[in-house]
Amino acid sequence: MKTPIVSICIPSYNNPRGLRRALKSISVQSMGDYEVIVTDDSSDNMVEEIVAEFSSVFSIIYFRNNPRKGTPENWNEAIRHAHGSYIKVLHHDDWFSFPESLEEFVSMMDRHPDADFGFSASRAFGDNLNLKFIHYPNLHLLSRIRKNPKALFPNNTIGAPSATIFRSGVTQRFDSQIKWVVDLDFYIRVLERNPEFVYTKKPLISINSGDSDSQVTASCIRDNDVQIFEWLYLYQKLNPGLFPVYKHAAFIWHLLLSNGVKSKEHLIRAGLKKPLRWEIILYILMIRMLK
State whether residue 34 is helix, strand or coil: strand
In a domain, 110, yes or no: yes
Give the chain's length.
Answer: 291
Domain final residue pick, 160, 179, 210: 210
In a domain, 215, yes or no: no
Q: Provide the pLDDT for residue 221.
A: 57
Residue range of the domain that includes 270: 223-289
Decide: 77 and 65 in contact? Cβ < 8 Å.
yes
> What pairs with residue 166 in β-bridges?
87, 117
What is Dmax (Cα atoms) for the chain? 68
CA dist., res. 152 & res. 203, Å (int): 20
Domain final residue pick, 164, 187, 210: 210
Tell me, yes or no, whether 21 and 140 share the same domain: yes
Tell me, yes or no, whether 118 and 247 share the same domain: no
Residue 285, pLDDT above cutoff 50: yes
Alpha-carbon torsion (140, 146, 152, 157), positive or negative: positive
Binned at pLDDT 50, 70 and 90, residue 135 comes out as very high
Neighbour-count burial for 18-31, b at 16+ CB within 10 Å, e otherwise: bbbbbbebbeebeb
Tell me, yes or no, whether 150 and 180 share the same domain: yes
pTM here?
0.94
Domain count, the chain: 2
Decide: 76 and 146 in contact? Cβ < 8 Å.
no
pLDDT tens digits, one per residue of 189-234: 999 999 999 999 999 999 998 744 345 655 565 688 999 999 999 9
In a domain, 216, yes or no: no
> What pairs with residue 208 in β-bridges?
125
Q: DSSP class of residue 270?
A: T
In a domain, 97, yes or no: yes
Provide the CATH number for the domain around residue 190: 3.90.550.10
Decide: 5 and 33 in contact? Cβ < 8 Å.
yes
Tell me, yes or no, whether 66 and 161 share the same domain: yes
pLDDT tens digits, one per residue of 145-204: 999 999 999 999 999 999 999 999 999 999 999 999 999 999 999 999 999 999 999 999
Tell me, yes or no, whether 245 and 171 share the same domain: no
Residue 63, pLDDT above cutoff 60: yes
For residue 5, the one-letter residue type is I
